[in-house]
Amino acid sequence: ADTVGTRRIITTPINVDQWDATLVYSNYSILNTKLRVGTHAIVSDDTLTDKSLVLFGGVNHYRSGYYNAGVDLYHTWYDNYLPGLKVLQVTATFGFFFGNYITYGSFYAETRGHYIKHSQDVGFGETRFPSVEQSLFFYRNRLTLEAFLWSGYQAFGVMKDGFAVYNIAEKHLGGFGGSVRYNTSPKSSLKLSFSQGRFNEVGSGQISRSLSVMVLLGYTF
């Protein structure tokens, strides 16, 4: 399966105009296993993170309708930082299904643990950032609804399976969000999502808020 997504984000109080492009290849040739690799490129008004690149891959083992467990690895290059900032992230996932899809719909609860490691301290006073994310999905016919929240610390993190990259020099302190997905056909889907969070900018003790909106078009072949 190949999925292509674009994102435009504007953050405040410092306005940053940014364009993102994501390409993901997923393979299901191994029984009950999903393998994927992908890349995420960034063009931004923020000179320190402009033309940054993320490469990622992961393995996921699942039993349809019962459980899901996997590990993903993300490696991000910010070459405009001197001598060049590299960010390594490991994300572990476990989830399970409950409910009745035939009658009232089914639910999927998922927990993700993120561990982010910077190659150097860029002003946060630390280089390691752990966090935990909890999500709940509802499935009914062609419709999928999602709600999530997370706590902990993230800086230069990669979220949403590689589609959301937080490339500004900010320490994120928690957040929440949701999404609506509709399968337009057995092989295509349209998804709208949003997230809101709190963060500290490097060198500032002030807590600010951010809002991100994404539109994704997926196609499987």
Q: What are the residue boundaries of the structural domains of the chain, listed by start?
A: 2-219
Query: What is residue 89's three-state secondary structure?
Result: strand
Query: d(Cα 81, Cα 71) in Å, to the nearest integer?
Result: 28
Query: d(Cα 123, Cα 130) in Å, to the nearest integer?
Result: 17
Fold of 2-219: Porin (2.40.160)
Q: What is the pLDDT of residues 58-84, one digit of tens each?
A: 999 999 889 999 999 999 999 988 788
How far CA 5 is from CA of 19, 38, 210, in Å, comes to: 11, 12, 20
pLDDT at 13: 52
* Longest CA pairwise span in the chain (Å): 58
Return the residue matching tokens 């937080």. Answer: 166
Query: What are the phi and psi torsion angles at 24 (to 5°)?
Result: -130, 135
Q: What is the pLDDT of residues 89-105, one digit of tens each?
A: 999 999 999 998 778 88
What pTM was computed for the model? 0.80
